[in-house]
Amino acid sequence: MLSGVHRPGSSRQFRGLVGLACVLMALVAGMPPALALTVEPIVSAKGIKAWLVEEHSVPLIAMKFAFVGGAAQDPRGKEGLAGMVADMLTEGAGDLSAAAFKQQLSQLGARLSVSGGRDAIYGGLETLSKRFAPSAELLRLALTAPHFDAEAIDRVRAQSLTNLALAANEATTLALNRWYAEAFAGSAYGRPINGTPESVASLTRDDVKSQYARPFAKDVLKVVIVGDIDRRAAAEALDSIFGGLPETAQLTDVGSVEPRPLPAPVVIDKDFPLATAIFGLASLRGDHPDFPALQVLNHIIGSGGFDSRLMEEVRVKRGLAYSIKTSLIRDSMTSLVLGGFSTKNENMGAVLGVLRDVLAGMARDGPTPSQFENAKRYLMGSFLLDFDTSAKVASSLLRLWLDGEGTDYLLTRNQKIDRVTLSDAKRVAGEVLEIDRLIVTIVGRPKFGP
């Protein structure tokens, strides 16, 4: 039993967010070890834009892609539609029935996935390089010639409903969904990605077909390819997989959104022995000149390591929680500082008190010089650690691209961190950590008194 990981991974929902934040951490200070990765921007004959990393030492190819759009494009009342469309792509396509499609994929040992995210539909293909061509053909069929059989739609809808039922009492999911609903009330962005039992039950084959026609187009597509493939073969693969897609996506402009502050924590009453909280604030956009300073600050406050302020105060000194951490979330629509923890119901008031003290103290005084230096050294030294498998390299690069970075980011990242000064960090702490604007959602029966 793989149990007792000392420094906890966060929940599945959260892991996506945390993974995203990890990508924001950066290259080595002073003497960066030469990054062996060379990222090459390429454009195929049919105009597909991609980033390529050639890496021939392991015989596999990892491709990650995103069609910007995603769950925020779901029509009102049809929440969960983007995820359903994504699920349906691998339920039969071209001249292959669902069973035949899956049989081929299984025999190839390829990993093909498409899923609906909040701001984009994400996909990936990982395969042995010697089996790349037939695997890529399956991906082409899935994207361009899905069947959307009525019977498969009924089954996938039922499966989605079961998944919603399974997650109905999952504290982190509940708290996170409520956090987005409160913070982005009235916006398409605040709705649950996976929908509600009511919205999913209402999804029809016509809904799937009409939604499918909107986001899958070349102009909103970004592709990253990493592995045992050269530039020419990569360009040909891009054309054969994505070349048949329409030029332009039909998207609704959701615009950018800002979280709306809450005067007091919102509690979802559940008779659970533990209370689970999600807390967060508006953050700086990724292209803001102070963003690197915020990365340093976030590390000091909530990296989840034992030397981060929240872990030190909540876990190491007081034993109040197993884990408490914060992440910087950014996508095309918003930027957030988001964190979470679980604690006994009777300790919720104490942990929230510590949380407020840590944030207020940081806003008032900034970090100490040694915390500040350690965090910078960590961020610069650890960047490389995220680039350890082809699939992770591809995912990390795709995230950077979606965040608006260029292929030179790998080289400029550490310079940006290195330039942050202690007074920058203090100033940004005062500007961003507005404790009165903290949005907190809690699942459980928390007690706030002493």
Partner 1 sequence: MRNVSLSRWIQTVLVAFTASASFLLPDGRATAEPRVSEFRLANGMQVVVIPDHRVPVVTHMVWYRAGAADDPHGTSGIAHFLEHLMFKSTRRMQSGEFARIITRLGGRDNAVTEHDTTSYFERVAKEHLRAVMELEADRMVNLRLVEQEVRTERDVIQEERRSSVDADPVSLLSEQMLAVLYRSHPYRHPVLGWADEMAKLTRQDATTFYKRFYAPNNAVLIVAGDVTPEEVRPLAEATYGRNKPNSAASRRARAQEPEPITARRVHLQDARAGAPVLLRYYYVPSYPSARPGEAESLQLLAQILGADDTSRLYRRLVADKLASATGSNYLGNGLDSGRLVLLVIPAAGPPLEKVEAALDAVIADVRENGVTQEELDSAKSALEARRVFESDDQTSLARRYGEGVALGRSIADIDAVPGRIQAIGLDDIRRAANGFLSPERSVTGTLTPLPAPATVTASPAALPPKR
Least Å from the CB of residue 153 to partner 1: 14
Least Å from the CB of residue 370 to partner 1: 9
The one among 158, 185, 213, 411 contacting partner 1 by CB under 8 A? 158
Q: Does 3 bind partner 1 (CB under 8 A)?
A: yes
Q: Does 315 bind partner 1 (CB under 8 A)?
A: yes
The one among 148, 387, 401, 409 contacting partner 1 by CB under 8 A? 387
* Contacts (Cβ under 8 Å, ≥6 apart) of 250: 213, 214, 215, 217
The one among 145, 167, 262, 268 contacting partner 1 by CB under 8 A? 167
Least Å from the CB of residue 390 to partner 1: 5
The one among 196, 202, 240, 382 contacting partner 1 by CB under 8 A? 382
The one among 20, 321, 348, 439 contacting partner 1 by CB under 8 A? 321
The one among 209, 288, 344, 427 contacting partner 1 by CB under 8 A? 344
Rounded distance, CA 226 to CA 243, Å? 19
* Contacts (Cβ under 8 Å, ≥6 apart) of 220: 67, 68, 69, 249, 251
Q: Does 79 bind partner 1 (CB under 8 A)?
A: no
With contacts defined by CB under 8 A, name the span among 66-74, 138-146, 271-279, 427-435 that binds partner 1. Answer: 271-279
How many residues would you count in the chain?
A: 450
The one among 234, 274, 432, 433 contacting partner 1 by CB under 8 A? 274
With contacts defined by CB under 8 A, name the span among 154-162, 203-211, 251-259, 433-441 that binds partner 1. Answer: 154-162
Q: What are the CA-CA distances from residue 27 to residues 233, 238, 416 (Å)? A: 30, 30, 10
The one among 155, 209, 260, 437 contacting partner 1 by CB under 8 A? 155
Looking at the Cβ atoms of 63 and 282, the one nearer to partner 1 is: 63
Rounded to the nearest 10 degrees, how much is the dihedral formed by the CA atoms of 361, 366, 368, 373? Answer: 140
Strand ordering across the sheet containing 274-282: 266-269, 439-444, 274-282, 335-344, 324-330
CA-based nearest residue to 207, from 65, 69, 122, 88: 88
The one among 162, 248, 368, 412 contacting partner 1 by CB under 8 A? 162
DSSP helix/strand/coil, 279: strand
The one among 391, 410, 420, 440 contacting partner 1 by CB under 8 A? 391
Say if CB 290 and CB 296 are below 8 A apart.
Answer: no
Least Å from the CB of residue 203 to partner 1: 16
Looking at the Cβ atoms of 60 and 359, the one nearer to partner 1 is: 60
Interface positions, 398-417, toward partner 1 (CB under 8 A): none
Interface positions, 35-74, toward partner 1 (CB under 8 A): 35-37, 55-60
Rounded distance, CA 26 to CA 411, Å? 10
Beta bridge partners of 221: 67
Say if CB 79 and CB 72 are below 8 A apart.
Answer: no
Interface positions, 188-247, toward partner 1 (CB under 8 A): 194
With contacts defined by CB under 8 A, name the span among 184-192, 284-292, 325-333, 374-382 that binds partner 1. Answer: 374-382
**Buried residues in 403-440 as b, exposed as e (16+ CB within 10 A):** bebebebbeebbebbbebebebbbebbeebbeeeebbb
Interface positions, 89-118, toward partner 1 (CB under 8 A): 99, 102-103, 105-111, 113, 115
With contacts defined by CB under 8 A, name the span among 307-315, 326-334, 419-427, 431-439 that binds partner 1. Answer: 307-315
Number of residues that bind partner 1 (CB under 8 A): 94
Rounded distance, CA 328 to CA 18, Å? 8
The one among 42, 205, 236, 322 contacting partner 1 by CB under 8 A? 322
Q: Does 368 bind partner 1 (CB under 8 A)?
A: no
Least Å from the CB of residue 216 to partner 1: 18
Least Å from the CB of residue 218 to partner 1: 25
Q: Does 30 bind partner 1 (CB under 8 A)?
A: no
Phi, psi of 293 (to 5 degrees): -65, -35
CA-based nearest residue to 374, from 305, 282, 423: 305
Looking at the Cβ atoms of 111 and 419, the one nearer to partner 1 is: 111
Q: Does 4 bind partner 1 (CB under 8 A)?
A: yes
Least Å from the CB of residue 340 to partner 1: 11
Dihedral sign of CA atoms 384, 372, 282, 292 in order: negative
Rounded distance, CA 36 to CA 359, Å? 38
DSSP helix/strand/coil, 254: coil
Burial of 388: CB neighbours in 10 Å, binned 0-12, 13-18, 19+: exposed
* Contacts (Cβ under 8 Å, ≥6 apart) of 52: 39, 40, 41, 42, 224, 225, 226, 229, 231, 234
Least Å from the CB of residue 3 to partner 1: 4
